[in-house]
Amino acid sequence: MNLKDLSSLGRDARGGARMPVLFVGHGNPMNAIEDNVFSRTWRDVGRALPQPAAILCISAHWETWGSEVTAMETPRTIHDFGGFPRELYQAQYPAPGSRWLAGETASAVSHSRIGLDFDWGLDHGCWSVLCRMFPEANVPVVQLSLDSTKAPRDHYALAQELAPLRSKDVLILASGNIVHNLRAMALPPGGDFNTPFALDWAREANELFKRLIDGHDHDALMRYQSLGSAVQLAVPTPEHYLPLLYALALREEDDVMSYFNDAPVAGSLTMTSLKIGPEQGGT
């Protein structure tokens, strides 16, 4: 039985329910191997999710010229960071790929061409979260790149076309950080990286973003560059912010949303994450 058949069985068993959508603030790559409040919450969220047939991940760490989707059978684990302990570089996430989901993703989008990629793999925006949510690495994973030529509104429109995948038991995981300014990082006195701490502008921006999310003001969120100086500091480059738009674009009228890991770290990052789905849940 192939993956498409398994997807149909799972959908029938759950009465045609849509899979949830997640936006995850992935933060420090060390979350992949450290036991902390964020990694434990990822574990708990994963346990509460319905079992997906496959996972489509949109990560801040794969930017391309044009849209690409991974289509290899065995995606490699990419250690796309520097200066971390050897243990982190030894971590592997051997989840299979899915030609079926790559094809479904490409065919779902009509306003853009999505090419098939056989070189990339799973970057840490993807695997550092999934190794906690699905530690057995037995769910096929495909990554969709961020097209660096697209404006925020175009990313949002592309994401909307992915909506049918939710009814095919595909979990869509968008991974970035709402507030992400590495050049402004600062630790509180006597604290470590995971001690909750925000610079004033980071807290202001994150609270503004949450008000707009709660108010369903997606138009303002797409025009984030006009939201003032705090937001400009919070989003100096778009790649960690854009995955949020993918998750919000997939929210249906009857979906409910809950926050998890809603905390600032290192002064200039927020781990604020969202679960969107037809049933109330989350951690």
3-state helix/strand/coil string of 68-110: EEECCCCCCECCCCCCCCHHHHHCCCCCCCCHHHHHHHHHHCC
pLDDT at 2 over 50: no
pLDDT score of 279: 67
Tokens of 37: 């409040």
What's the number of CA atoms in the CB half-sphere (13 Å) around residue 141? Answer: 31
How far apart CA 154 and CA 150 sit, in angstroms, is: 6
Residue 8: pLDDT band (50, 70, 90) is: very low
pLDDT of 267 reads: 98
**Range of lowest pLDDT (6-10, 135-139, 189-193):** 6-10
Contact 19, 170 (CB under 8 A): yes
Choose among 263, 40, 270, 36: nearest CA to 132: 40
161's tokens: 């076309």
pLDDT tens for 19-67 read: 999 999 999 999 999 999 999 999 999 999 999 999 999 999 999 999 9
Q: What is the pLDDT of residue 4?
A: 42
**Percent of the chain surpassing pLDDT 90:** 89
Nearest to 120, CA basis, from 90, 77, 173, 150: 77
Q: Is the pLDDT of residue 280 over 70?
A: no
Q: Using CA atoms, how far apart are residues 100 and 162, in angstroms rounded to an integer?
A: 14
CA distances from 270 to 151, 180, 188, 202, 258 (A): 23, 7, 15, 8, 16
CA distances for 172 relative to 12, 14, 43, 55, angstroms: 19, 17, 17, 6
pLDDT band at 191 (very low <50, low <70, confident <90, very high): confident
Surface-to-core class of residue 40, CB atoms within 10 Å of its CB (0-12 exposed, 13-18 middle, 19+ buried): middle
Domains, in order of start, for the chain: 3-277 (3.40.830.10)
Query: pTM value?
Result: 0.93
Phi, psi of 234 (to 5 degrees): -70, -30
pLDDT digits (tens, 9 = 90+) for 76-111: 999 999 999 999 999 999 999 999 999 999 999 998
Count the alpha carbons within 13 Å of 158 in the hemisphere toward its beta carbon: 25
Q: List all residues 6 or more positions away from 234 whose beta carbon is below 8 Å from its beta carbon.
A: 178, 179, 180, 181, 201, 202, 205, 206, 209, 268
Of 9-18, 55-64, 205-214, 220-229, give the lowest mean pLDDT range: 9-18
CB-side neighbour CA atoms (13 Å) of 61:
21
Q: What is the mean pLDDT of residues 128-135?
A: 98
| Among candidate residues 40, 100, 47, the one with its CA nearest the CA of residue 69 | 100
DSSP class of residue 60 equals E
**What digits encode the pLDDT tens for the residues 226-277?**
999 999 999 999 999 999 999 999 999 999 999 999 999 999 999 999 999 9
Cβ pair 146, 60 in contact under 8 A: yes
The sheet carrying 54-64 orders its strands as: 114-117, 67-70, 141-147, 54-64, 170-176, 21-25, 273-277, 256-260
Residues 195 and 77 sit within 8 Å (Cβ to Cβ): no
Looking up tokens 């391309």 gives: 64
- Taking CA atoms, 23 is separated from 8, 42, 91, 119, in Å, by 25, 11, 23, 25
